[in-house]
Amino acid sequence: MSEAFTAGCVQFTAGPDAAPNLQVVADLVRRARDAGYGLVISPTFEDIGVFRRVGESTDVVRKEMYDFYDKGDPPRHLALRPEGTASVVRAFVQHRPAVPWKTWYVAPSFRYERAQAGRYRQHHQLGVEVLGTEDPLLDAEVIALLDGFYAELPLRRVTLHLNSLGDDTCRPAYRAELEAFLAARADQLCDEHRTRFRDNPLRVLDCKDPDCLAATKDAPWQLDRLCGPCATHFATVRAGLDALGVRFSIDKRLVRGLDYYTRTTFEFTAEALESAQNAVGGGGRYDKLAEDLGGPPTPGIGFGTGLERLRMACAAEGADLVGPSPIDAFVVDTTGGVAALRLAQRLRSAGIGTDRAWDSRSFKAQFKLADRSGARVAVIVGPDEAARGAVALKPLRGGEQVEVPDELVVARVREMIDAED
């Protein structure tokens, strides 16, 4: 891997950073499973055509895709996954599972961005996608799932922005109106949009450049131009969120950076982060995407939330994304290591998270590791204990050390753990 690439990539799978992130993943997975979602694992790369459906006018497709040709004859044009939704919808179209198909995933995504804090060339998204229903109360449930997940993190200042982008009935006329509005003010737009606003006029509304912001202050908004069914759909989404006590702010500028969205769109921003990188998660409906990918008309909705952004947002609020230690017991063995091997296995088989030291370290060094592990009980075996067929148990968060016969070790460790809960 070149230095430039690793510089733009935060590793979340190994090292001391892994545990808190596993905890974050576990929290969302538990929530998703409790709501009937199943795991989907999609390939890291696909035919480039799958991702092109994300939108020819988006930066993700135009500038940021990692694409390559394989060794086929003729070679196939492939791309690394820049986001999770298109692959899941492609899998749906290919395998046609029963609907509603409710899925969750955690996956690396690759975008050739200018790497900077919060914007990486490899980032990791936790997401859900549901295919097969356009019920607006599902939109409320999906948004509430993400909202509830954030509420469990040490993240306090998060705002939910909500908008509707209409559908094929109301969007074309709105788009034409917006294009005419922008054409009359083209000279006031930023350098990029002055010439490119016709590619996707809606994207200009999302531009953070002060010139574009000023020029579009009085722009027409899709939300004010929804057709009857889209307006009713959006009203029901809002009522559903109200019923669940999820607070949101209507944001007529919210268009999102991918082109497949229809109707409901949403984004969660962390106020502690700078505005260019403050979106911690977002999503919306994509009722046409399955058809675009060659499948039957099938509505869909989902979200993706970036693990790196979440961690940054927590750090910016001065809170650490640290989960509880999965380890309850730590075996300290100064008799050579075989006793630890057996004890760790017995404790783990009994469902007690257990770790141990390696390399026949000194008692002091092993005890230091026990302290650092987050375990609650040190299970100690020295030559004296071994001779008596016993082990010593030392509560690591305060308390007297006791000696117990070897056969009672599992029961007594469990008692000590339960006593702390």
Q: 321 or 377, CB closer to ligand HAM?
A: 321
Q: 28 or 258, CB closer to ligand HAM?
A: 258
300 pairs with which residues across the strands?
131
Residue 306 in contact with ligand HAM, rule: CB under 6 A: yes
Residue of 21, 42, 103, 125 interacting with ligand HAM (CB under 6 A): 125
Amino acid at 95: H
Q: Are strands 262-270 and 249-250 parallel, antiparallel or unpaired?
A: unpaired
Residue of 29, 40, 80, 84 interacting with ligand HAM (CB under 6 A): 84
Rounded Cα distance, 6 and 2, in Å = 6
Residue 111 in contact with ligand HAM, rule: CB under 6 A: yes
Residue 233 in contact with ligand HAM, rule: CB under 6 A: no
Q: 82 or 240, CB closer to ligand HAM?
A: 82
Q: 260 or 330, CB closer to ligand HAM?
A: 260
Q: 84 or 201, CB closer to ligand HAM?
A: 84
Residue 257 in contact with ligand HAM, rule: CB under 6 A: yes
Ramachandran bin of 201, using left for φ above 0, alpha for ψ from -120 to 50, beta for the remaining angles: alpha
Rounded Cα distance, 94 and 75, in Å = 22
26-47 burial, b if ≥16 CB within 10 A, otherwise e? ebbbebbeebebeebebeebbe
Q: 256 or 356, CB closer to ligand HAM?
A: 256
244's tokens: 């669940």
Residue 127 in contact with ligand HAM, rule: CB under 6 A: yes
Residue 309 in contact with ligand HAM, rule: CB under 6 A: yes
Residue 85 in contact with ligand HAM, rule: CB under 6 A: yes
Q: Are strands 249-250 and 77-80 parallel, antiparallel or unpaired?
A: unpaired
SS3 state at 126: strand
Residue 113 in contact with ligand HAM, rule: CB under 6 A: yes
DSSP 9: B
Residue of 17, 25, 66, 119 interacting with ligand HAM (CB under 6 A): 119
Contacts of 341 (CB under 8 A, 6+ apart): 356
Residue of 50, 107, 182, 280 interacting with ligand HAM (CB under 6 A): 280
Geometric angle at alpha carbon 169, from 164 and 174, rounded to 5°: 65
Q: 278 or 354, CB closer to ligand HAM?
A: 278
- Is residue 285 packed enough to be buried (19+ CB in 10 Å), middle (13-18) or exposed (0-12)? buried
Task: Compute how many residues bind ligand HAM; rule: CB under 6 A.
Answer: 27
User: Segment near ligand HAM (CB under 6 A), from 112-120, 204-212, 357-365, 408-416?
Assistant: 112-120
Point out the residue whose Cβ comes nearest to ligand HAM: 306
Question: What is the binding site for ligand HAM (CB under 6 A)?
Answer: 83-85, 111, 113, 118-120, 123, 125, 127, 129, 257-258, 279-284, 302-306, 308-309
